[in-house]
């Protein structure tokens, strides 16, 4: 993801407002509200109907976890009560959850039919973890240029189960589907590339794999969802361990289809349960990025506002900022507790400043920690990628601390323990 612009750019239109300008969403909502005035009103999201539709589409029943239906009900109830979904957002949430569950059903079914998948080894994976907007995406895409790395690609993350042989001649249809999804997202949220770029055959963070566990903070990108967030925080470690086991099974399924190198994965959401992550992946190397919260937090708020703008007309920047600060404090508290239990040699701490100023040096340091040197070929690929993807090359991300109702002093207080623990420098 691109870094924030200089403060002088703050007079430009905030990036989060761009999603609201989509004529597709405005036209759909206008038509739906007109229909509602005629008595044709769509009802709220319904967990039972969502699961039933996923089962009908796939002709499968087993979701692999008796608790999935309860998790879905909690999530749907929170969406209905707290997300302020507009008609397009309600339709999108329904469709996205049907896809989440359809893919889960297909994964569980294939694992039962092909038990050898469960024996595929996942050895020494590398997880890039950091609070949103701390350089994780730049670092992830950079390290993915190494031929020895095995990044998760956008197309395979969307549909992990391969098509039947009858449908698999020529290019994998999942790649065409991912291209369509990427194009639709850019149409609905103009300027999204300045915040988070997705392309079918490029590396992508493991959002989809985590959504299928129904235990992920990524759902908060759809709305405030205070009830769902409190539910997440109240879960025992065992809930997250079980979620990571299903996450691991998805990696095994993908590696079974396309063996190559050691897994390279990336997601800020891993911060919430690092202790569960290392229990399920005991030989993992964790790369944790760090950035001044005064810059990272409003940038994360802007990204969240862009995505919530696809789902709701009620994206209130100051409300979002208050809840984001509170959740950041809770995330840092849990992360610090987990880090105290993780052996230091398991983690490489990386400052955002170093990712920007010395990316190849950071790559060398990470490779050394996982026990290999950075080859000449890998370094050449990385330098080429850096030249082809300059900073702000996909547009400038505009945001300020103030537009989200945040004050410097309150952010500094909330994040003081985190900043002190990792020696995070101020960005000016």
Confidence of residue 14 (pLDDT cuts 50, 70, 90): low
CA distances from 235 to 228, 240, 287, 422 (A): 11, 8, 25, 27
pTM, rounded to two decimals: 0.91
Residue range 7-162+175-422 in CATH 3.40.50.300? yes
Confidence of residue 170 (pLDDT cuts 50, 70, 90): confident
Which sign does the torsion angle of CA 255, 258, 260, 263 carry?
A: negative
Q: Which helix (H) or strand (E) holds 297?
A: helix 293-308
Q: b/e for 196-225, b at 16 or more Cβ within 10 A? A: bbbbbeebbbbbbbbbbbbbbbbbbbbbbb
Is the pLDDT higher at 398 or at 223?
223
Tell me the C-alpha distance between 225 and 83, whole Å: 6
The percent of residues above 90 in pLDDT, for the chain, comes to 76
Pick from 47, 83, 46: which is nearest to 214 by CA? 47
Q: Examine the pLDDT at 7 and tell me if it is beyond 60.
A: no
CA atoms within 13 A on the CB side of 141: 21
Rounded average pLDDT over 294-319: 91
| pLDDT on residue 20 | 60
Strands 149-151 and 347-351, bridge-based pairing: unpaired
For the chain, which residues make up each domain, given as ranges? Answer: 7-162+175-422
């Amino acid at each position: 993801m691109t870094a924030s612009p200089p403060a002088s750019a703050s007079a430009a239109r905030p990036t989060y407002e761009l999603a609201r300008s989509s004529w597709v969403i405005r036209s759909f909502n206008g038509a739906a509200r007109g229909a509602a005035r005629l008595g044709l009103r769509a009802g709220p999201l319904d967990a039972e109907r969502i699961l039933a539709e996923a089962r009908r589409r796939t002709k499968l029943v087993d979701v692999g976890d008796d608790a999935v239906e309860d998790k879905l009900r909690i999530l749907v109830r929170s969406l209905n009560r707290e997300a302020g979904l507009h008609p397009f957002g309600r339709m999108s949430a329904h469709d996205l959850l049907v896809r989440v569950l359809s893919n889960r059903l297909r994964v569980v079914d294939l694992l039962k039919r092909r038990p050898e998948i469960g024996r595929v080894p996942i050895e020494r994976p590398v997880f890039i973890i950091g609070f949103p907007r701390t350089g994780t995406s730049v670092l992830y895409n950079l390290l993915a240029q190494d031929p020895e790395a095995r990044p998760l690609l956008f197309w395979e993350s969307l549909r992990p189960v391969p098509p039947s042989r009858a449908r698999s001649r020529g290019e994998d249809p999942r790649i065409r589907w991912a291209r369509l999804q990427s194009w639709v997202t850019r149409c609905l949220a103009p300027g999204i590339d300045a915040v988070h770029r997705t392309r079918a055959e490029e590396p992508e963070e493991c959002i989809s794999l985590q959504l299928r566990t129904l235990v992920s903070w990524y759902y908060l990108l759809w709305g405030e969802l205070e009830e769902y967030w409190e539910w997440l925080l109240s879960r025992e470690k065992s809930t997250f361990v079980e979620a990571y086991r299903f996450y691991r099974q998805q990696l095994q399924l993908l590696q079974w289809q396309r063996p190559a190198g050691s897994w390279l994965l990336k997601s800020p959401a891993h911060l919430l349960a690092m202790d569960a992550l290392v229990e399920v992946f005991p030989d993992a190397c964790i790369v944790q990025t760090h950035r001044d919260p005064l810059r990272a937090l409003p940038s994360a708020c802007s990204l969240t506002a862009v995505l919530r703008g696809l789902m709701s007309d009620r994206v209130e920047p100051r409300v979002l900022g208050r809840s984001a600060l509170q959740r950041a404090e809770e995330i840092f508290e849990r992360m610090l507790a987990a880090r105290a239990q993780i052996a230091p040699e398991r983690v490489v701490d990386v400052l955002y400043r170093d990712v920007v100023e010395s990316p190849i040096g950071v790559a060398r340091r990470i490779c050394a920690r996982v026990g290999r040197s950075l080859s000449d070929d890998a370094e050449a690929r990385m330098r080429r990628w850096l030249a082809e993807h300059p900073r702000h090359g996909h547009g400038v991300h505009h945001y300020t601390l103030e537009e989200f109702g945040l004050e410097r002093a309150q952010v500094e207080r909330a994040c003081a323990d985190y900043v002190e623990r990792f020696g995070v420098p101020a960005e000016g």
